[in-house]
Amino acid sequence: MSEAMAVENVLFVVAKILFATIGVGLSIAGFLGWVERKQSAVMQDRIGANRAAILGINVLGLFHPIADAIKMLTKEDFVPAGAHPFLHALAPMISLGSAMFCLAAMPYGGVIQYAGRAWDLQPIALSEGLPLVLAALALGVHGIFMAGYATGSNYGLLGAMRGAAQMIAYEVCLVSTLAGILFIYGTLDLQAAVSWQARHGVWGVFLQPLAFVLFLTAGAAVTKRAPFDLPEGESEIVGYHVEYSGMKFGMFLMTDLFESIVICALITTLFLGGWTIPFMDLPAKGLLGGVLMVSSFIGKLMLLLFFLMQVRWTLPRFRFDQLLDLGWKNILPLSLINFVATIWAAYL
Amino acid sequence: MTVTIRPVSRPARTFVTQVYVFEVWRGLAITFRHLFVNLFRHTMSLLGIKGFAPGAVTIQYPEDPAVLGKRARTRHRLLKRPDGAVRCTACLLCETVCPAKCIRITAEDAPDPGIEKRAKTFDIDLGLCVFCGYCVEACPVDAIHMDANQVEISSFHRKNMIWSMPELLGDAPKRYDPPESIR
């Protein structure tokens, strides 16, 4: 039996993946449901959800995600007569599953030395992590299109078409904004990108500030939340999940939050130094270093999520031509200029 | 009522607003300011430190009383003369003007020789009432007002939505017959 297949290694990988998808993904997504309601309420001079209580205790409404989950799980799972039952059930799984894979490929920490051996804190360590994550993010759109098509509703199909067209608007920009920073790092491995920043003691955001802003904008479009919630468009068409109910609808809701987490994790990894803390040599600190790595990563993630949430509750939705203009006429040229300038500066 | 004019200047479409990036940051600055100011105020009230404005304008309605406007039209109220007699002269103007046809009046001779007749019964079906206030405007003797400041008038039975004259005058408490299921 090779060393990679040893029992403790397999167990460790499973534990890491469970931590990434359940520990980070589900708990932060549930927490985000509360953050969304409270943050929007406080910035609009309201109080927000505060009625769900256990034994008369409501910790600022923190029990609302639990109440929401119970509501979602106990609702009737309705499949309309015109729907394709198999695709109808498969679509939310594809969307959520691809977002979950992205979370499992993020470098939550580096390699630490503990109990006489090295532990890699990245759940799925891949030398081509970034393209795979971007591919999985693009796969999420297939779930949306499948959902809109399988519901057999015109409004669902309209939402699906919008979702596909939105992907055309942001997908090219999403990758092209990263060209400059990948040129600097010289790697597609997310872990190697973080260790490059740790080795050089500088975060990507200081090397590529324009790319940071552009990627944040394109990334906000990936999450399908306002101001880029065209596929949902709850005020005119209810969108691709118009015929969904119960936990299948809940999975689509969670996909949006998961994709927000993935985008923020990508930005943290590529632009905000990943698990690094300035002026601290974390890999040399053993177990404490590992804890600090994961905390640092999740702390940066939460700050970005807070910012994206604020944007979501501040800006109105883009019109469709505005979205395409933003993608193809603004972000794409700027990212190409950024790339050319990076190469020019590197060979100067 | 005097008409006042307040000129509102239309925001100019300058280059800065057209670029949109700066406007995004301006909008974010406004919402972030609200967020942090309100968070600070909430924290101060949680810590029990007085002297700051409340962090929210929310009224926690079922616990705290509803705040009604000065001119809010609420449940009807019938008024009495100084001698205690009902003001209503059963002229049926309110019944005629009512667009929802929710008022039913029967008349009888008034004992006072100066008044021709008075209301014998005066029923308002609040289940039909649209709270338009026409009855108050139509009344020539100022007998009906909509200022009882009561908005919680729902009931389990349609017939319990009908308020009779003693109840509207405040002489008798409103009778509620709860349904069999919760009796």
DSSP calls for A20-34: IIIIIIIHHHHHHHH
The answer to whether the CB of A34 falls within 8 A of the CB of A62 is: yes
Domain holding A271, by residue range, is 79-346
3-class SS of residue B60: coil
Cα dihedral sign, B65-B68-A52-A59? negative
A45, A78, A213, B13 from B26: Cα distances, Å: 18, 44, 16, 15
Domain count, chain A: 1
Size of interface A-B (CB pairs under 8 A): 39
C-alpha–C-alpha distance, residues A190 and A193, integer Å = 5
Q: With an 8 Å Cβ cutoff, are B31 and A46 in contact?
A: no
Q: With an 8 Å Cβ cutoff, are B56 and A47 in contact?
A: yes
Show the tokens assigned to A42. Answer: 């406080």
Taking 60 as the threshold, does the pLDDT of residue B61 lie above it? yes
pLDDT at residue B183, rounded to an integer: 52
Q: How many residues does chain B have?
A: 183
Distance to chain B for A111, nearest Cα, Å:
38
pLDDT at residue B138, rounded to an integer: 95
A285's CB contacts (< 8 A; 6+ apart) are A112, A292
**Residue B143 exposed, middle or buried by CB count within 10 Å (0-12, 13-18, 19+):** buried
Taking 80 as the threshold, does the pLDDT of residue B1 lie above it? no
The answer to whether the CB of A323 falls within 8 A of the CB of A166 is: yes
Q: How many residues does chain A have?
A: 348
CB contact A303 to B (< 8 Å): no
Residues of A in contact with B56 (CB under 8 A): 41-42, 45-47
pLDDT at residue A1, rounded to an integer: 46
Taking 80 as the threshold, does the pLDDT of residue B177 lie above it? no
Tens of pLDDT along chain A (348 residues) come to 456 667 888 888 888 889 888 888 888 998 998 999 999 999 999 988 888 888 888 888 888 888 888 999 999 988 998 899 999 999 999 999 999 999 999 999 888 888 778 888 888 888 888 999 999 998 988 999 999 999 988 999 999 999 998 988 898 999 999 999 999 999 999 999 999 999 898 999 999 999 999 999 999 998 888 889 888 888 888 888 888 998 999 999 999 999 999 999 999 999 998 899 988 888 888 888 889 999 999 999 999 999 999 999 999 998 889 999 999 999 999 999 999 999 999 888
A296, A322, B75, B99 from B152: Cα distances, Å: 53, 48, 9, 22
Show the tokens assigned to B137. Answer: 């405007």
Q: Tell me how many degrees the CA angle A343-A176-A138 measures, rounded to the nearest 5.
A: 155
- When scoring A35, A45, A214 by the number of chain B Cβ atoms within 10 A, the one with the most, hence best to mutate, is A45
Cα dihedral sign, B32-B34-B37-B40? negative
Per-residue pLDDT, averaged over B71-85, amounts to 91
Question: Which of B85, B77, B82 has the alpha carbon at shortest distance from B108?
Answer: B85
Taking 90 as the threshold, does the pLDDT of residue B134 lie above it? yes
A256's CB contacts (< 8 A; 6+ apart) are A223, A224, A225
3-class SS of residue B117: strand
The verdict on residue A208 lying in a domain is yes
Look up the ipTM and state it.
0.86
CB contact A330 to B (< 8 Å): no
Show the tokens assigned to B136. Answer: 């108050």
The CATH number of domain B77-182 is 3.40.50.12280:
no
**Residue B94 exposed, middle or buried by CB count within 10 Å (0-12, 13-18, 19+):** buried
Taking 80 as the threshold, does the pLDDT of residue B179 lie above it? no
A26's CB contacts (< 8 A; 6+ apart) are A254
Of B31, B34, B58, which is closest to A47 when you measure between CB atoms? B58
pLDDT at residue B123, rounded to an integer: 93
The answer to whether the CB of B119 falls within 8 A of the CB of B106 is: yes
The answer to whether the CB of A228 falls within 8 A of the CB of A220 is: yes
Of B30, B32, B38, which is closest to A45 when you measure between CB atoms? B38
CB contact A93 to B (< 8 Å): no
C-alpha–C-alpha distance, residues A36 and A10, integer Å = 37
E strand residue ranges, chain B: 77-78, 103-109, 117-125, 144-145, 162-163
Of A41, A43, A47, which is closest to B31 when you measure between CB atoms? A43
